[in-house]
Amino acid sequence: MSLNDKVAIITGGGTGIGLGIAQVLSEKGVKLVLAQRRLELAQRAVESLRPAEVIAEALDIRDPDAVDRLVASAMRQYGRVDILVNNASVTGMPAIAPMLECDVATVDAIVDANLKGTFYCSQSVAKRMVAAGRGGSIVHISSVGAYAAQEFATLYCATKAAQVSLAQSMALELAPHKIRVNCIAAGDINTEASANITDEKRDIGASKRYVRETPLTRRGSPRDIGHAVAYLVSDDASFVTGATLLVDGGFLTY
């Protein structure tokens, strides 16, 4: 699996799952752009990843103009973009809202980031990949919530299902340009944002009836997702596109 000298943009690459992905890809020789709404978090991640070749950029994926500027900056600095990982999302407690109480601001926050932001980033990067003519790989970080309802997470689950659908449709349209688009449905991954999510949901009224256990008897780590991304963006997965890889420790087996 050779990824040496490839260039990847990872949205939300400074924390949680994004940082785990950055760690794995950097170890495989990938040059990285960590795009984060809070620049200081990406800068901190850059320091932790040295001596790998990594730069930090501020980005609000909800703003298509900002996305275009970020991608153009990556092209100027590295001369190419081979990989996009759409990891940034509204997740954890900010994505939790009982359906009957969910206000307009919450609807917009979740949909604008998880759905629109994924589209804007993919479109901007794909245009550069098509122009370069070298192909490329795009991966959306979705969730098991795309396939199984989660209490108080109606919009979150819907947008994660949308990312699965986006991967399929984008894969179809971009295949003639040798651009592969895939998705990862992450299970219970231990991040700062989700460390106590079950208890926090219970505190706002969620029942105990719809909580699954992971058959492999542990929570996943951000690096587990990173290794899956490394496979999907490598030549080892050259015949894989439009697919969603479950990385969930068996969460959806029952």
Parallel, antiparallel or unpaired: strands 83-86 and 54-58: unpaired
Catalytic residue among 147, 156, 210, 231: 156
Place of tokens 């179809």: 172
Compute the half-sphere exposure of residue 117: CA atoms within 13 Å on the CB side of its CA.
29
156 part of the active site:
yes
Torsion angle, alpha carbons of 72, 73, 79, 85, to 10: -80
Cβ proximity of 97 and 111 under 8 Å: no
Catalytic residues: 156
